[in-house]
Amino acid sequence: MESRPVIASILTIGDELLIGQTVDTNSAWMSQELNEIGVWVHRRVSVGDDREAIWQALDEESRQAQIILLTGGLGPTADDITKPLLCQYFGGRMVVDPDALANVKHIFEMLKRPLIERNLKQAEVPDVCTVIPNRRGTAPGMWFEKEGRIFVSMPGVPYEMKGMMKAFVLPRLLAHFQPTPVVHRTLLTAGIGESFLAERIHEFEWMLPKNIKLAYLPSYGMVRLRLTGRGADAGLKAELEAQFNMLQQLVADVMVTNEDQSISQVLGKILTERGQTLSSLESCTGGYIGHLITSIPGSSRYYLGGGVAYSNALKISTADVRPETLAAHGAVSRETVVEMAEGIRRRTGSDFAIATSGILGPDGGTPEKPVGTVWVGLSAEGRQDSSHFHFRFDRQRNTELAANHGLNALRKFILG
C-alpha cells in the first residue's frame, strides 16, 4: 500500500488576521487534528475579507490540495463577502436552511434577546452545499465537493469551529479519503538546549527508517521530541515503539515524561497517584503558576491554592517570612523563597509547596540582581530546596519560563 498522505490546505479569512488583532489559533488546532487522522497540512494561507483574494486563494490551494478547509468570514458582522462568493464559486443559489433557521431562533430564545435581520441571514446557505450543523453558534458550516476536491467552510470562532470539526468534518474526511494511518509517540525534555539535544540524537535521527520522522518542538525552555510513523503495515507500530524506546534511553537524564503532556499535567498525575497535595506562593510569577496548575481539569483534588504575595508585607502576613530575612537578603533571594514555601505549606497544610520571587522586567533590575533573576523555593515536611534562574527575555516570556522551570524543579523535588 502506498503511503502518500492526503494533502490539505487551511485558508483563514478575515481582515482581523491581517491587521494582527487576532492570533490564529485555529490553524494549529486543525493541523493537529488532521494529522491525527493521517491528513497532512502542506500550506496555511490567510487572506482578508476581499472577494478577489479569497477567489484566487481557492483556485490556488485547490490546485495542490485535496482538502481545503476555510474558517472565518461567516459571522454576523462579516462583510457578506464569503458566503455569496462561495455560492457563486460552486455555482449555486442562496436558500434558507430550515434547520439552521430553527437553530438561530432557538439560540436567541435561550439568550432572551430580540432577533434582528442580520441574525436571520445566518441561516441562508448555497443550495449546492451540505449544511454542517452548528450546535455552538448561529452560523452554519458548509461542505462542498468540486472536481474531486473537498471544500469546508466554518466560522472563525474557535469553539464553534472545533465543535463542527469533531462532530462532522473529521469523521467525514476519514470516511471519504481513508488516509494512511499515522502513529505518534512524544516525550518532553527539560534543561537542555535544542542544539545540544540535536547533537546528542543526531545519529539516532539519521538511522531512522524512512517511514518514521523525528520532530523538535520547543516551547518555554522545554523541548518536545515527537516520532511520527506513517503507513498501514502491521510492523510499523512495533518499529515505532522500538525506536521510541531507544530515544528515551538517549535522553533519559533530561526526560520529563514519555507522554504528550505539559509539565502541569505531569505534576497533576504524580500528585494524584500519590494522593498528595500542593500549595503555592508567588511573587514575580503573579499567579501564573496557579493558573497553569488549575488549567488541568480535576486539579482541585491536589491543589489547595495559595497566594500571590507581591508586597513584602504580604510575604510576612501570608507565609510568616521573617522581616529580618527580607532585610538581610532582600525579597529576591534563596532565603526568602524558602521561607515563603515553608510558610505557605504550613499554613495550608499541603504536602508540598512552591514559591517564586524575582525581577521579570522591564524595570527593577540592579547590578547584583539584574532583570531576569528568579528564585524558586520548594518545601516538603523536613525538606527544602531552591533553584536559581536567569532569563534574558521580555516580561511575558520570562514569566512563562520562570513558571515552567519552577514547575519542573518542583517535579524533581517531589520525585526525590
Cα separation, 103 vs 69, whole angstroms:
23
For β-strands 182-190 and 255-257, DSSP reports them as antiparallel
| Contacting residue, 166, 313, 370, 383, with a copy of itself by CB under 8 A | 313
What number of chain residues touch a copy of itself (CB under 8 A)? 102
For residue 128, the minimal CB distance to a copy of itself (Å) is 27
Q: Supply the DSSP symbol for 351.
A: S
325-344 residues in contact with a copy of itself (CB under 8 A) are none
Determine if 204 is a binding residue for a copy of itself (CB under 8 A): no
Q: Pattern 169-198, binding to a copy of itself, x per CB under 8 A?
A: ------------------------xxxxxx
Instruction: Cell numbers for 397, please give them.
Output: 516570556
Q: Which stretch binds a copy of itself (CB under 8 A): 45-53, 95-103, 166-174, 267-275?
A: 45-53
Pair 353, 365: CB distance under 8 Å: no
For residue 209, the minimal CB distance to a copy of itself (Å) is 18
Largest pairwise CA distance in the chain: 79
Which CB atom, from 184 or from 412, has the smaller least distance to a copy of itself?
184
Q: Which stretch binds a copy of itself (CB under 8 A): 85-93, 95-103, 244-252, 276-284?
A: 276-284
| Contacting residue, 290, 358, 372, 406, with a copy of itself by CB under 8 A | 290
Determine if 374 is a binding residue for a copy of itself (CB under 8 A): no
Instruction: Cell numbers for 222, please give them.
Output: 522545554
Determine if 305 is a binding residue for a copy of itself (CB under 8 A): yes
Determine if 46 is a binding residue for a copy of itself (CB under 8 A): yes
Half-sphere exposure of 183 (CA within 13 A, CB side): 17
81-120 residues in contact with a copy of itself (CB under 8 A) are 113, 116, 118-119
Pair 64, 9: CB distance under 8 Å: yes
Instruction: Cell numbers for 368, please give them.
Output: 547584583
Q: Which stretch binds a copy of itself (CB under 8 A): 124-132, 141-149, 240-248, 386-394?
A: 386-394
| Contacting residue, 92, 191, 287, 330, with a copy of itself by CB under 8 A | 287
Q: Which of 348, 329, 346, 327 is nearest to 337 (CA)?
A: 329
First to last CA, the chain: 49
DSSP secondary structure of 80-115: S-HHHHHHHHTT--EEE-HHHHHHHHHHHHHTT---
211-270 residues in contact with a copy of itself (CB under 8 A) are 215-217, 219, 224, 226, 228
